[in-house]
Amino acid sequence: MNAIPYKAKQFLLVLIKLLIVCGAVAFLYAQLKTKDLSDWHLVTQKFTFLSFLGIVFLSFLNWFLECLKWKNLVSDFKKITFKKAVEQTLGSLTASIFTPNRIGEYVAKGMYYSKEQTKKIIFLNFLGNSVQMLVTLFFGLIGCVFFFVLSPNLLEEHDFSSGFLFWLPVILVAGLILGLIYSKKWRFYGYSIDNLIGKIHLFPARKHFANIQYSLFRYLVFSHQFYFLLLLFDVNLPYPDALLTIFTMYFFASVVPTIHLMDVVVKGSVAVFLFGKLGVNQWTIVSITTLMWLLNLVIPVLIGSVFVLNYKPLRK
């Protein structure tokens, strides 16, 4: 009698895995179909073998650091190999591409651990994502301040988009402060604000420092990857101007709720607007954001699909 439920359970698991992978691949294909690839031969002409290798290496380094960050966080209560960290990081990425702001990642990573450990995993994932977000906000706010100084015509035009872009950081920071003050009843996967703050204080300082380091290095890697692509596309902006604009772009892209696969649309729109103010060609920016999306999301999702298909639930 027990064999039938077990077989049904296994069949359901296989079906879910196939649905996730097929859905991810279909969604990627649909997104690629919306791109005008007719001029992509012009993009490939911008690359030498070494420059292409360098850009791909930065994507590898980006996810290498993310996997090391997860390995560091989990080691607080369980030692895992780097291979396991890669499997859990990329597998959960694939499983969460349909969910806004990586929410599905919390559930997906919890699937690799026992029910008793799930709450701990949710906290660790929250800690990793929060520090990455804080790094993005820190550099992004610096970028916003300097971007409006470097591009004064943004304020002179007095159009809706410019005003909105200027006031959004102020509104977000004020909202965050008010939210923290009046959010005593707010809960995140069973954690209250007080619980989270208490858990953060109890987390080992050495691991906090490593988490911040990995998040900082990762941010600098993908920011400079964007900058190097600007150079390859013959965009001759001064280094500070380019980097501060990139910081501003990632700031606005990160605060807009969106699913992973639509991230390219948000980043592309913001990037076209910001770099357009500095006189950069729209086609160039769309090409760069699409390349970043392909290298830093599409390829990792496809690799993660292999891990999803090979996933085996923990034996009870």
For the record, the structure tokens of 297 come out as: 């999301």
Say what the pLDDT of residue 160 is: 45
Say what the pLDDT of residue 163 is: 53
- 151 domain residue, yes or no: yes
Say what the pLDDT of residue 194 is: 65
Domain total of the chain: 1
Flag residues of the chain having pLDDT under 70: 1-45, 101, 148-194, 257-262, 314-316
Q: Is 212 exposed, middle or buried (0-12, 13-18, 19+ CB in 10 A)?
A: middle
- 79 domain residue, yes or no: yes
Q: Looking up tokens 């501003």, which residue turns up?
A: 248
Distance in angstroms (rounded) separating the CA atoms of residues 229 and 304? 25
Residue 159 belongs to domain spanning: 47-309
- 20 domain residue, yes or no: no
**Which residues, other chains included, contact 273 with Cβ-Cβ below 8 Å and sequence gap of 6+?**
161, 165
C-alpha distance from residue 172 to each of 6, 47, 133, 263 (Å): 49, 39, 13, 20
- 30 domain residue, yes or no: no
- 15 domain residue, yes or no: no
**Which residues, other chains included, contact 271 with Cβ-Cβ below 8 Å and sequence gap of 6+?**
249, 285, 288, 289
- 230 domain residue, yes or no: yes
pTM of the model: 0.81
Say what the pLDDT of residue 109 is: 92
Say what the pLDDT of residue 1 is: 43
Q: What is the pLDDT of residues 168-189, one digit of tens each?
A: 655 666 666 555 555 555 555 5
Closest by CA position to 225, among listed 39, 99, 217: 217
- 23 domain residue, yes or no: no
**Amino acid at residue number 28:** L
Whether the Cβ atoms of residue 216 and residue 135 lie closer than 8 Å to each other:
yes
Say what the pLDDT of residue 3 is: 47
**Which residues, other chains included, contact 108 with Cβ-Cβ below 8 Å and sequence gap of 6+?**
91, 92, 95, 96
- 14 domain residue, yes or no: no
First-residue to last-residue Cα distance in the chain: 18
